[in-house]
Structure formats: C-alpha cells, structure tokens
Amino acid sequence: MKRVLPGFGLSLGFTLVYLSLLILLPLSGLAFKASSLSFEQFWNVATGERALAAYRVTFGASLVAALINAFFGLIVAWVLVRYPFPGKRLVDSLVDLPFALPTAVAGITLATLYAGNGWIGRFLEPLGLQIAFTPLGIVVALTFIGLPFVVRTLQPVIEDIEPEVEEAAATLGASRLQTFWRVLLPGIFPALLTGFTLAFSRAVGEYGSVIFIAGNMPLISEITPLLIISKLEQYDVVGATALASVMLAISFVLLLAVNGLQWWAANRHHGKERVSL
C-alpha cells in the first residue's frame, strides 16, 4: 500500500533530528554550563535563601492557579458544551484571549485593574484584600493565562458524553452528585488531569504577565524566572544555569508524577469499561 507520509525510517530520523535541535541540544548545553560549578558551589546557588523563596512562590502559585483552573475550567467547558445561551460564541472566543494576548499586555492590564486605584482594586483594598504587587497577584495572572488549556482540553471529551447517560443515571435513582462522581467524572478525569498539567506547566515558566503584577520583592513575590533574568543581567550565567537546572529537574519530576497518575486513571477507566462490557 502506498503511504501518504514517508516510511518509518525517514519519519523517525526527521523526528529525532528535530527533537535534538529544539530540545536535546539546548538542555545539554544547560547541563554542561551548570556542570562547570563544583557541587558545593551549585548547592549554595540552588539552595540560597532567595532561591528557595523563589521556588516556593513559583511552584506554589502555579499549583494554586492550576487547581483553580481545573475547577472553574470544568464548569466553563461544561456550560459551553451543554447549554445554549445568547453570546455563547463570544464567550467561547474569549476563552482563547490569553493565547492571543501578549503576556506583557496581560500583566499590565491585570496590574492596572487590581492596583489600589484600579477599577477592581479600589473596592478590594478597603476590605483589606490587596492583590496587585503580592503573591496573590501572581496567582491571578497565572490563572488568567492557564484557563484556556483546561477548557480546550475538556470540551471534546464532554461533547462525546451522551446526555442519555445522565438521564439513565437519574432514572436509576442517582442524585446529581452521584451522577457526576460515579458516571461523569471517571470519563472526564484523564482529560481534566491533562488540562491541569498543561496549565501548571505553562504557569511554572511564565514571566511576562507576572512581573508587572507581582511586585518582584525578593523573598516575598519574586518568581524563579525573574531571579534567573536578574542573574543574567549581572553576567552570572553559571548561576542562572544552576537555577534553571533546578527548575528543569523539579518540573520534570512533577510532570512525570502527573503523567503516571494520568496513565493510572486512564487504565483504571478502560478497565472498568471492559468489566461493564
């Protein structure tokens, strides 16, 4: 049979060359540069007080933002798929706004809105809730840029769920919570976990939308990418690569753990389907 795409050998060779140029070579260069430090020097840079604080802010805010997006992204995706309402196409297109909007513009806009004299911040600050120039502002920015990943991942999966499944569960006496927990969630969960992973990964490396709203105060609201940039501006390339190596290692371990959980959830779901058949 004549194939449209090239054979396995040529396709595999192209794939390996492409991945090597875009991923493996830059990562190898990063590791090589960081290896010029002794273990003690590397440890001092990677575990300094300012670096540890930046890790906590970066990964903590990214995790909170990804969890928020997983919850509200599921609701948004469900509404967009299941319910007709006026302006639905407009709302659906607005979900993609963080994709199209430059991150610096997003950061400036959010900082303007949530500053003490901003449209939203002026009402929150008298209540003792300050968002701009605090770690909470970082969470807001990361939530904004991560929402589309969850919504767009869930929409096709929700579209494949037949409404008759919910009707059958209701006929059998299941409550709404039981229908969601036992019938809908098992099929949605792998896609939800994928969207959570994408949103988390995007948030960990985010820079442009965060620096304008974070305040960038060392030990308080400074993210690791900004600390890396600061070291590069001071011509401390080796120190910057050391921090980047730590970020890469932590991100890889977290993504590996999430992918393992995703694989387990998918296999568990398929196993239940086989048993029911």
Tokens of 136: 């909470």
Lowest mean pLDDT among 17-21, 47-51, 105-109, 246-250: 17-21
pLDDT at position 136 is 93
The Cβ of residue 164 has, within 10 Å, a number of other Cβ atoms equal to 9
- Closest among 192, 244, 250 to 72, alpha carbons compared: 192
pLDDT at residue 9 greater than cutoff 90? no
User: Which tokens in the block code for residue 80?
Assistant: 């967009």
CA distance 134 to 47: 23
Q: Would you kindly state where each structural domain of the chain is located, as residue ranges?
A: 57-276
pLDDT in tens, 222-233: 999 999 999 999
Q: Which residue has the higher pLDDT, 15 or 148?
A: 148
Q: Which two tokens stand for residue 30?
A: 């990063």
Does residue 149 or residue 24 have the better pLDDT? 149
Give the model's pLDDT for residue 137: 93
Supply 249's token pair: 């290692």
Position 161 scores a pLDDT of 85
The residues, any chain, with a CB within 8 Å of residue 131's CB and separated by 6 or more, are 114, 120, 121, 124, 137, 140, 213
pTM: 0.85
Convert the chain into a string of H (helix), E (strand) and C (coil). Answer: CCCCCCCHHHHHHHHHHHHHHHHHHHHHHHHHHHCCCCHHHHHHHHCCHHHHHHHHHHHHHHHHHHHHHHHHHHHHHHHHHHCCCCCHHHHHHHHCHHHHCCHHHHHHHHHHHHCCCCCCHHHHHHHCCCCCCCHHHHHHHHHHHHHHHHHHHHHHHHHHCCHHHHHHHHHCCCCHHHHHHHHHHHHHHHHHHHHHHHHHHHHHCCCHHHHHHHCCCCCCCCCHHHHHHHHHHCCCHHHHHHHHHHHHHHHHHHHHHHHHHHHHHHHHHHHHHHHHC
pLDDT one-digit tens code per residue, 36-87: 888 898 999 999 999 999 999 999 999 999 999 999 999 999 999 988 889 8
Q: Looking at residues 164-176, what average pLDDT do you find?
A: 80
Residue 160: closest CA among 82, 89, 84 = 82
Q: What is the mean pLDDT of residues 186-190?
A: 86
The listed CATH number (1.10.3720.10, 2.160.10.10, 2.40.50.100, 3.40.50.300) that belongs to domain 57-276: 1.10.3720.10
